[in-house]
Amino acid sequence: MKTSGLKDHQHIGKELDLFSFHDIAPGAVFWHAKGFVIFKTLVEYLRSSLLKNGYKEISTPVLVKSSLFKKSGHWDFYNENMFNFMHEKEMYSLKPMNCPEAALVFSSTKRSYKELPLRMAEFGILHRNELSGVLGGAFRVRQFVIDDAHHFITPDQIQKEIHKGIFAVVDGTVCGNGNGPRTMEPVIKNYILASNDQVAIDAISAKMMGFDPMKIEFIKMAHDRGLGIGDLGQIEIIGEDITNVNFGFKTGRSPVIYFDQVFRQGVFSFLEPLLFHTGLFALCIFGSEFYHDRLWYPTLGKIKINKFKKTEWGRLFNKY
Ligand SMILES: [Zn+2]
From ligand 1's centre to the CA of 79, what distance in Å? 16
Q: Per-residue pLDDT for 184 more than 70?
A: yes
pLDDT, tens only, 239-271: 999 989 999 999 888 777 788 888 888 888 888
Say what the alpha-carbon torsion angle 29, 34, 36, 39 is, to the nearest 10 degrees.
-100
202-217 average pLDDT score: 96
The better pLDDT of the pair 306, 267 is held by 306
Mean pLDDT of the chain: 90
CA distances from 254 to 188, 210, 288 (A): 23, 20, 10
pLDDT confidence tier of residue 165, bands split at 50, 70 and 90: low
- Enter the pTM of the model: 0.58
CA of 128 to the centre of ligand 1 (A): 14
Greatest mean pLDDT range, 140-144, 257-261, 296-300: 296-300
Q: How far is the CA of 216 from the centre of ligand 1 (A)?
A: 36
Q: Looking at 115-119, 165-169, 276-280, which range is the least confident one? A: 165-169
196 CA to middle of ligand 1, Å? 21
Determine the distance separating the centroid of ligand 1 and the alpha carbon of 137, expressed in angstroms.
Answer: 24
Ligand 1 center from residue 150 Cα (angstroms):
6
Say how far apart CA 16 and CA 33 lie, in whole Å: 11
pLDDT tops 70 at residue 5: no
CA of residue 266 to ligand 1 center, whole Å: 48
Express each pLDDT in 78-133 by its tens digit. 999 999 999 999 999 999 999 999 999 999 999 999 999 999 999 999 999 988 77
User: Which is more confidently placed, 225 or 139?
Assistant: 225
From ligand 1's centre to the CA of 280, what distance in Å? 47
As a whole number of angstroms, the distance between CA 200 and CA 30 comes to 42
- What is the rounded distance in angstroms from the CA atom of residue 54 to the CA atom of residue 121? 10
Stated as kind and residue range, the H or E segment containing 218 is helix 217-224
CA of 94 to the centre of ligand 1 (A): 15
CA distance 261 to 266: 6
List the chain domain ranges: 3-153, 163-251, 253-320
pLDDT, residue 131, reads: 80
Question: Residue 121 C-alpha to ligand 1 middle, in angstroms?
Answer: 10
**CATH placement of domain 3-153:** 3.30.930.10
CA 101 / ligand 1 centre spacing (Å)? 9
The pLDDT of residue 218: 94
pLDDT for 48: 93
Expressed in angstroms and rounded, the spacing between residue 109 Cα and the centre of ligand 1 is: 20
Percent pLDDT > 90 in the chain is: 63
For ion ligand 1, residues whose CB falls within 5 Å: 99
CA of 319 to the centre of ligand 1 (A): 40
CA of 225 to the centre of ligand 1 (A): 28
Which pLDDT band holds residue 13 (cuts at 50, 70, 90)?
confident
**98 CA to centre of ligand 1 in angstroms:** 5
Q: Compute the distance from residue 149 Cα to the ligand 1 centre, in Å.
A: 7
Q: Which of 108, 105, 79, 107 has the alpha carbon at shortest distance from 94?
A: 79
pLDDT tens-place string over residues 22-41: 989 988 999 999 999 999 99
CA of 199 relative to ligand 1 center, distance in Å: 26
What tens digit of pLDDT does each residue of 144-153 get? 998 899 999 9
Ligand 1 centre distance from Cα of residue 161 (Å): 15
Closest C-alpha to 172, from 197, 190, 157: 190
Query: How far, in Å, from the CA of 143 to the mean position of ligand 1?
Result: 16
Query: What is the CA(147)–ligand 1 centre distance, in A?
Result: 10
> Of 158, 156, 193, whose CA–CA distance to 173 is shortest?
193
pLDDT surpassing 60 at residue 6: no
pLDDT band at 1 (very low <50, low <70, confident <90, very high): very low
pLDDT at 2 over 60: no
- 39 alpha carbon – ligand 1 mean position (Å): 21
Give the pLDDT confidence score for residue 164 in this predicted structure: 67
Q: What percentage of the chain has pLDDT greater than the value 70?
A: 97
221-233 pLDDT, tens digit per residue, is 999 988 889 999 9
